[in-house]
Amino acid sequence: MTMNPADRAWAARPPTHFDRPRLDEEEVERIRRERLVPLVTQWDYLHLAGLRRGLGAAIRAVGPVPGPSLDLFCGTKPYLELIPSRPTWGLDLDLHFGRADVLGSSPLPFRDASFGLVFCSQALHLLDDPRSIVEEVGRVLRPDGAVIATVPHLFIAEGDFERHWSPRDLRGLFAGWRDVEVRGIDGPGVALAFVMGRIAMLGARRWRLPEPLFRSGIVAMNATCEFLDTLLTPVHPRWPHGLVLVARRPGDHHHPSG
């Protein structure tokens, strides 16, 4: 039987097993700080600045929710300060970033209706079985709970583990949820900066480019691509750089299987 495109976008694959060493505290804090308050000298500045704006807007749209929050696949917990609900539990696959309160995957190691908000930034498209995780998110949310998730849209994948989802794919993944809304974050100019910046960063590491020269080039690149992205504002809805989803828990606790 031929698998339709939507099923391929969400299809489960063999589980990935991590054995990553734990980063030292200084490195974790550097990564967290760069994501929360990016600087124009960073190669991914435009990407991270737009991501923070998109997350902030989504959190404001959801409004206050009762109960604790879950930062799903939390990494360094860079956006903890943006999440209004307390306490906020961080779950991750391993202790690589040293910020997880709980380790796990699907099924999530929490009771039904434990959280008012589930927050998942830049992780859902990497998962081995996103449908299973979305079902589990619905299970652990309270009756009027909400989920906020971000995924990239215009990007060059590092490997087959990164899924490319359209806004339609993301809505399909959350079919049966209430008040599903998918918004774009920035546009092709920021996507171009992300690709060029990553290439420049890898090249600078390989050829040991002097730091002042690298940073000045990155500042010029960010300024040029930001201007280009402003000119391309009319095409942002069609070609967003990233996507942010906001949805309310389905009434039956479960994501439909078909």
Output the pLDDT for position 159.
72
pLDDT at position 172, please?
95
d(CA 181, CA 174) in angstroms, rounded, equals 10
- Per the prediction, the chain carries an average pLDDT of 91
CATH of domain 5-12+20-38+49-186+240-248: 3.40.50.150
Residue 201 backbone dihedrals phi, psi, to 5 degrees: -65, -45
Alpha-carbon span 46 to 38, nearest angstrom:
8
Q: Map out the domains of the chain as residue ranges.
A: 5-12+20-38+49-186+240-248
For the chain, how many helices (H) and strands (E)?
7, 7
pLDDT of residue 208: 85
Average pLDDT over residues 196-216: 91
Q: How far apart are CA 219 and CA 159, in angstroms?
A: 28
Q: Give whole-number Cα distances, 205 to 92, 137, 200, 208, 213, in Å.
A: 29, 39, 9, 5, 13
> Which residue type, as a one-letter code, is found at position 14?
P
- 181's enclosing H/E stretch is strand 178-185
Q: What is the mean pLDDT of residues 42-63?
A: 96
Three-state DSSP at 150 gives strand
**Cα torsion through 95, 97, 103, 105, rounded to 10:** -120
> What average pLDDT does the segment 80-87 reach?
87
Quick one: pLDDT at residue 1? 38
What pLDDT shows up at residue 3?
Answer: 45
Beta strands in the chain (DSSP E): 69-72, 88-92, 102-103, 115-121, 141-152, 178-185, 242-248
What is residue 255's predicted lDDT score, i.e. its pLDDT?
Answer: 43
- Which pLDDT belongs to residue 141? 97
Q: What is the pLDDT of residues 98-151, one digit of tens each?
A: 999 999 988 999 999 999 999 999 999 999 999 999 999 999 999 999 999 999
Instruction: Give the span between the Cα atoms of 1 and 151, in whole angstroms.
Output: 30
Q: Residue 183: beta bridge partners?
A: 244
Average pLDDT for residues 180-195, to the nearest whole number? 97
CA distance 49 to 39: 9
Note the pLDDT of residue 8. Answer: 73
For residue 209, the model assigns a pLDDT of: 83
Q: Which of 29-33, 211-215, 219-223 has the lowest mean pLDDT?
A: 211-215
**Percentage of residues of the chain with pLDDT beyond 70:** 95
What percent of the chain clears pLDDT 90, i.e. is strictly above it? Answer: 77
Burial label for 87, CB within 10 Å (0-12, 13-18, 19+), is: exposed
CA 114 to the chain's CA centroid: 22
